[in-house]
Amino acid sequence: MPTLTIASWNINSVRLRAEQVAAFLDGWRPDVLCLQEIRCHTNRFPTETFKRLGYAHLAVYGRKAHHGVAIASRLPIEHSECHRFCGLNDARHVMTEIAGVRIHSLYVPAGGDEPDPSVNPKFAHKLAFLEEMRTWLKREAAGDRPVILTGDLNVAPLPEDVWDHRRLLRVVTHTPVETEALERIRRESGLIDVVRERMPPPVKVFTWWSYRGGENWEALNKGRRLDHVWASPALAARLDDVAIAKEARGWPRPSDHAPVLARFRLA
């Protein structure tokens, strides 16, 4: 039975980390790679690098040194489009249809440092983004069409998604207002958090480790699960496996995120 393997990675500059992307694609060979924070304009995306690696089908929505998302595929892209959240042209979403599946790459705003929307406009923007995401995704996932949502959602929703639940309750990405908002989005959309289907609590799962840990990031293991793969129920029922490519976080000049992968059986 044919399968479809999706990978999601906040690459933190695709041009700066082209060698890391090549190493990951050569080693893991996903069918589709969803990228966030590519940090380059659409016309400066390293298209030839991806083509040389066998990923000739691309959907890119980028802005110079500002966010940016992309989807690279070994399989033909049947259709692509972008949604502009909060009325902004800040390159946080791209969708493709591949093998009959609608695949999204999404980059939710980080939200700054202070978890108070009254004094922190970045956090207010994040909450507004999540609220729009709730209504948008509910429509997007309606009906029986197969949907996969991937991306850096910048929220670690479960206590086991952070290195210390109590210490991080007042830290942006794990505050109750964010975690409750994200769970409401997922619940109302009907999508399944496939990583937690295979790695349920109490197992701790991380996809991000701060640069502040330096070379000791792995020993300290002060991580958070900010990167997600959600799937519509019919697809989730055909989930084969999930993986976190943690080794990529230890490569030279790494992104602070590790790739997340999910493999599905196609009907």
Domain at 3-265, CATH class: alpha beta
Tokens, residue 12: 């933190």
- State residue 141 phi and psi, 5-degree precision: -95, 5
CA distance 79 to 95: 8
What pLDDT, on a 0 to 100 scale, did the predictor assign at position 64? 85
Q: Is 10 exposed, middle or buried (0-12, 13-18, 19+ CB in 10 A)?
A: buried
Report the C-alpha gap between 168 and 159 in whole angstroms. Answer: 9
What's the 3-state SS for the chain?
A: CCEEEEEEEECCCCCCCHHHHHHHHHHHCCCEEEEECCCCCHHHCCHHHHHHCCCCEEEEECCCCCCCEEEEECCCCCEEECCCHHHCCCCCEEEEEECCEEEEEEECCCCCCCCCCCCCHHHHHHHHHHHHHHHHHHHHCCCCCCEEEEEECCCCCCHHHECCCCCCCCCCCCCHHHHHHHHHHHHHHCCEEHHHHHCCCCCCCCCEECHHHHHHHHHHCCEECCEEEEECHHHHCCEEEEEECHHHHHCCCCCCECCEEEEEECC
0.75 exceeded by pTM: yes
Which pLDDT belongs to residue 41?
A: 95
Neighbours of 59 (CB within 10 A): 23
Cis ω on the peptide bond leading into residue 202 (within 30° of 0)? yes
Give pLDDT, residue 65. 80
Cβ-based neighbours of 228, under 8 Å, separated by 6 or more: 8, 149, 150, 151, 153, 193, 195, 260
At 1 the pLDDT is 64
Measured in whole angstroms, how far is the alpha carbon of residue 122 from the centre of its chain?
Answer: 19
Instruction: Show pLDDT as tens, one digit a residue, over the chain (267 residues).
Output: 699 999 999 999 999 999 999 999 999 999 999 999 999 999 999 999 999 999 999 999 999 888 999 999 999 999 999 999 999 999 999 999 999 999 999 999 999 999 999 999 999 999 999 999 999 999 999 999 999 999 999 999 999 999 999 999 999 999 999 999 999 999 999 999 999 999 999 999 999 999 999 999 999 999 999 999 999 999 999 999 999 999 999 999 999 999 999 999 997
Which tokens is 228 given?
């997600």
Angle between helices 121-140 and 176-189 (to 10 degrees): 10
